[in-house]
Amino acid sequence: MAKIASIDSSLKVQILKRLYFDGAASCAELSEALDRSLPIIAKAIAEMTDAGMVTEKGYARSTGGRKPLLFALKPGNVYIVSVVMDQLYTNIKILDVANNSEICSKKAELKLLNNKAALCKLEDLIQEAIVSSGLPHGDIIGMGLGMPGFVNIKKGINHSYLHTLTGESLREYFERVFDMPVYIDNDSSVIALAESKFGLAKNRQDVMVINVGWGIGLGMIVDGKMFRGHNGYAGELSHIPVGTGDILCECGKKGCLETEATLRIVAQKAIDRIKSGYKGTIQVRESAEEMCEEIMGAAKRGDQFAIELLSEMAYKIGKAIAILIHINSPEQVLLSGRGAEVGKVLLAPIQQALNEYCIPRLFEHTEVIFSTMKYNAYPIGAAALVMENLTVNQLVIAKGVVKEVILQ
Domain harbouring 36, CATH code: 1.10.10.10
Q: Which residue, 262, 314, 255, is CA-closest to 291?
A: 262
DSSP string, 211-248: EESSSEEEEEEETTEEE--SSS----GGGSB-----PB
Q: Is residue 1 part of a domain?
A: no
- The H or E element that residue 334 is part of is strand 332-336
Rounded to two decimals, the pTM is: 0.90
| Helices marked H in 23-113 | 27-34, 38-50
**Same domain for 108 and 59:** no
pLDDT at residue number 135? 92
**pLDDT tens digits, the chain, 408 residues: what are they?**
334 445 678 899 999 999 999 999 999 999 999 999 999 999 999 999 988 889 999 887 766 667 889 999 999 988 999 999 998 999 999 999 998 999 999 999 999 989 999 999 999 999 999 999 999 988 899 999 999 989 999 899 999 899 998 889 999 999 999 999 999 999 999 999 999 999 999 999 999 999 999 889 999 999 999 998 887 888 888 888 887 777 888 888 888 898 989 999 999 999 999 999 888 889 889 888 899 999 999 999 999 999 999 999 999 999 999 999 999 999 999 999 999 999 999 999 999 999 999 999 988 889 999 999 988 999 999 999 999 998 876 665 555 556 555 555
DSSP state of 254: B
Residues with Cβ within 8 Å of 64's Cβ and at least 6 positions away in sequence, in order, are none
Q: In what order do the strands lie in the sheet with 332-336?
A: 225-227, 216-222, 207-212, 332-336, 367-370
In a domain, 194, yes or no: no
Residues 359 and 244 in one domain: yes
The last residue of one of the domains, among 73, 89, 121, is 73
pLDDT given at position 10: 87
Question: Do 49 and 158 share a domain, yes or no?
Answer: no
Is there a single domain that holds both residue 19 and residue 128? Answer: no
Same domain, 213 and 296: yes
- Say if 14 falls within a structural domain: yes
> Three-state SS for 105?
strand
Specify the pLDDT at position 234: 85
Q: Provide the number of structural domains found in the chain.
A: 3
Considering the domain architecture, whether residues 168 and 221 belong to the same structural domain is answered as no
| Cα 12 to Cα 36, 305, 353, 389, 392, distances in angstroms | 12, 55, 49, 14, 9
Show which of 58, 73, 88 is a domain's final residue.
73
Domain housing 333: 200-372
Q: Are 141 and 400 in contact (CB under 8 A)?
A: yes
* Per-residue confidence (pLDDT) for residue 403, from 0 to 100: 52
Residue 270 and residue 355 in one domain: yes
Does 231 fall in a domain? yes
The answer to the question of residue 338 being in a domain is yes
Angle (nearest 5°) at CA 276 between 275 and 280: 70
Inside any domain, residue 352 = yes
Indicate which CATH number applies to the domain containing 241.
Answer: 3.30.420.40
| 286 shares a domain with 226 | yes
35 and 170 both lie in a single domain:
no
Classify residue 195: in a domain, yes or no.
no
Give the pLDDT of residue 187: 93
Note whether 367 and 218 are same-domain residues.
yes
Q: Are residues 230 and 174 in the same domain?
A: no
Residue type for position 189: S
Whether residue 178 is found in the same domain as residue 244 = no
Residue 2 lies in a domain: no
Q: Of the candidates 18, 49, 73, which is a domain's last residue?
A: 73
